[in-house]
């Protein structure tokens, strides 16, 4: 079954703890993205990566970190420095070309308790 | 800076009525524009892209560079069109990320 998979679907974290969200794709896509979706805010770009071992900050990168050691994987770590981490997180991938379609995962809902 | 503006949070129409979801953008170069849709309990997915000039599920969108707009239109709304719609923009160079608007919820009732 090809596609992009995020895990877990729901995640709870205590304040002050770091947590890592998983994103895996088997579409052989070069580009991968992390977005945060909040009510009334739309999708805001956190980080993106166009190629293995390279990534760029998006509009709201503060308090987050990523790695891209493998083409198929782009994990996102929400650190304790993120002031308001409770949100719905979406991962996406594309082949990185112009006008290309982005494919989205089903999302992870993170709640800080 | 790239920016996408969707001025309406919610658009409510009756079945069979025309629909227009507004999208304006800000970009210094030649943008690539898209509409994505998220149905209830489904993944966000591509609806259409301006370069294709296609009609998907009866929806069309025309890029108007003079007005920097990419409004989504459908002449006769159906109840199954009820969803969240996002307008998105990417730059004119490979490697630029997709930037989204805040989204518009379309509610079609009978």
**What does the pLDDT look like over B59-75, one tens digit per residue?**
999 899 999 999 999 99
C-alpha to C-alpha distance for B14 and B109, rounded to whole angstroms: 5
Q: Report angle CA B29, B31, B32 to the nearest 5 degrees.
A: 155
Question: What is the arithmetic mean of pLDDT over B101-105?
Answer: 96
CA distance A112 to B30: 41
> DSSP states of A43-58 as a string?
EEEEEEEEETTEEEE-
What are the residues whose beta carbons fall under 8 Å from the beta carbon of A71, sequence distance 6 or more? A28, A29, A30, A52
Tell me whether B86 touches chain A (CB under 8 Å).
yes
pLDDT of residue A1 exceeding 70, the answer is no
Instruction: Find chain B residues with C-beta within 8 A of A99's C-beta.
Output: 32, 49, 51, 90
- Tell me the pLDDT tens digit for each residue of A69-96: 999 999 999 998 898 999 999 999 998 7
3-class state of residue B52 by DSSP? helix
> Which residue matches tokens 């966000």?
B44
Across-strand partners of A91? Answer: A34
Is the pLDDT confidence value at B91 over 80?
Answer: no
Q: What is the DSSP letter of A70?
A: B
Cβ within 8 Å, pair A41-B102: yes
- Cβ distance B51 to A99 less than 8 Å, yes or no, reads yes
């Amino acid at each position: 079954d090809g596609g992009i998979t995020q895990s877990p679907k729901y995640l709870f974290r205590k304040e002050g703890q770091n947590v890592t969200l998983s994103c895996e794709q088997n579409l052989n896509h070069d580009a991968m993205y992390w977005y945060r979706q909040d009510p009334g805010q739309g999708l805001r770009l956190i980080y993106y990566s166009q190629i293995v071992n390279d990534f760029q900050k998006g509009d709201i990168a503060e308090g987050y970190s990523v790695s891209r050691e493998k083409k198929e994987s782009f994990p996102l770590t929400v650190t304790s420095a993120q002031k308001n981490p409770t949100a719905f997180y979406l991962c996406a991938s594309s082949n990185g070309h112009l006008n290309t379609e982005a494919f989205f995962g089903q999302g992870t809902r993170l709640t800080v308790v | 800076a790239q920016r996408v503006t969707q001025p309406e949070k919610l658009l409510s129409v009756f079945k069979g009525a025309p629909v227009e979801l507004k999208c304006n953008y800000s970009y210094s170069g030649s943008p690539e524009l898209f509409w994505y849709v998220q149905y209830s309990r489904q993944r966000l997915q591509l609806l259409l892209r301006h370069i294709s000039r296609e009609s998907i599920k009866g929806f069309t969108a025309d890029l108007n560079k003079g007005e920097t707009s990419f409004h989504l239109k459908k002449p006769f709304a159906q109840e199954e069109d009820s969803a969240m719609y996002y307008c998105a923009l990417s730059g004119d160079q490979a490697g630029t990320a997709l930037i989204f608007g805040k989204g518009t919820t379309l509610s079609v009732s009978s």
